Amino acid sequence: MNSFLPVRWITLNLFKVSFLLFSFLLVTDAYSASKTILVLGDSLSAEYGLARGQGWVSLLEKKLAEEKIPARVINASISGETSIGGKNRLPDLLNQHHPDIVIIELGGNDALRGLPLNNSEDNFRTIIVSAKHQNAKVLLAGMQVPPNYGKTYTQQFFSMYQKLAQEQKIRLVPFLLEGVANNNQLFQSDRIHPVAAAHPIILQNIWDQLHPLLKK
């Protein structure tokens, strides 16, 4: 009886080691292929009013490095960008960087400029389809506008993102500024652009939907 116990103990521990090694290999394999992530956004992604490295895109790069996920992030965001501007710039960006994942963070400036919703929707659709044609996974970041735009416009604007995500079968961040929008202290003096303290929250909103795409 006593001579059997060490053998059983060794067998069990060898099994545990083998299982842990197998699990590690599975996780490593899930991220084995390095991915290129293209962020097509406006000032919310371009670190407007922030010190370099404080925006959510920069924080994303740090998070990927910390979690040892091989990925390269291309931040092609421009302050003031609209959906039509993103649509026009995207073909060159796709040809230059060949991204595996495209994050679309646009729309706020369309609303600020009063652009027709049907035009914005068409622009988004073109962006999404163009990215998919290049075999890129797409993540769409939804936005909301203040109620002073009118109930109908506000509702239709917000619903546009959900409609596109369902139609194109892509992942959606329902509202990029969830957890930020209702806290005045998380905004710069213009009440439009978040302060640095808000960007970890924004990153988490993005990460919840981005992380599954990194495993594919």
For 137, phi then psi, to 5°, come to -75, 145
Would residue 193 show up in a list of annotated catalytic residues for this protein? yes
Would residue 43 show up in a list of annotated catalytic residues for this protein? yes
Q: Choosing from 98, 122, 193, 199, which is the catalytic residue? A: 193
Q: Choosing from 42, 43, 45, 83, which is the catalytic residue? A: 43
Q: Choosing from 29, 159, 190, 208, which is the catalytic residue? A: 190
Q: How many helices (H) and strands (E) does the chain have?
A: 7, 5
In the three-class reduction of DSSP (H, G, I as helix; E, B as strand; rest coil), residue 105 is classed as strand
**Cα angle for residues 45, 177, 166 (degrees, 5° grid):** 90
Where in the sequence numbering do the catalytic residues fall? 43, 190, 193
